[in-house]
């Protein structure tokens, strides 16, 4: 039965070429973590003034109401303020999720290093070259 599995396993492994190298995986995970942190900061910075703008628009609506401006204009201003606040809330949520993803990418990089770092170091320190992948295909 194991002989039937070998070709299937070899076929699955073959398209990966050399496979993923430890250093590349860790670097890509660290890059992803940094990218998500930057995204979170960019979202937070971009939407930082939205609450102030929403308050200003709402205050304009209150001032306009005191001046007996038509209700349609007042409603438009209040709606605009509500939309701004809702957008800010969604942006905060998105920034929080991006930060969570950054933490998860960083943790995954650390855990990958802990799991495979010693193996990678042992392979790099070997006095002989690593056997070709095909050598391990039938094991």
Rounded mean pLDDT of 50-65?
Answer: 94
Tell whether the model's pLDDT for residue 49 goes beyond 80: yes
CA–CA gap between residue 84 and residue 23 (Å, rounded): 44
User: What does the pLDDT read at residue 53?
Assistant: 94
User: What does the pLDDT read at residue 73?
Assistant: 94
User: What does the pLDDT read at residue 124?
Assistant: 87
pTM: 0.70
* The two structure tokens encoding residue 56: 């200003």
User: What does the pLDDT read at residue 19?
Assistant: 61
* The two structure tokens encoding residue 7: 């070709």
Please report the DSSP string for 65-88 in residue order.
HHTT--HHHHHHHHHHHHHHHHHH
Interval 13-47: pLDDT, tens: 333 445 668 888 999 999 999 999 999 999 999 99
């Amino acid at each position: 039965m194991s002989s039937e599995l070998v070709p299937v396993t070899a076929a699955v492994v073959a398209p990966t070429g050399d496979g993923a190298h430890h250093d590349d995986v860790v670097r890509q995970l660290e890059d992803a973590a940094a990218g998500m942190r930057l995204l979170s900061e960019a979202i937070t910075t971009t939407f930082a003034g939205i609450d102030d703008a929403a308050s200003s628009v709402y205050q304009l609506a209150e001032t306009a109401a005191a001046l007996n401006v038509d209700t349609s204009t007042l409603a438009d201003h209040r709606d605009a303020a509500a939309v701004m606040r809702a957008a800010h809330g969604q942006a905060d949520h998105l920034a929080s999720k991006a930060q969570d993803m950054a933490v998860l990418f960083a943790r995954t990089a650390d855990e990958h290093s802990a799991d495979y770092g010693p193996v990678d170091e042992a392979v790099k320190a070997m006095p002989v070259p690593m056997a070709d992948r095909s050598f391990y295909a039938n094991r």
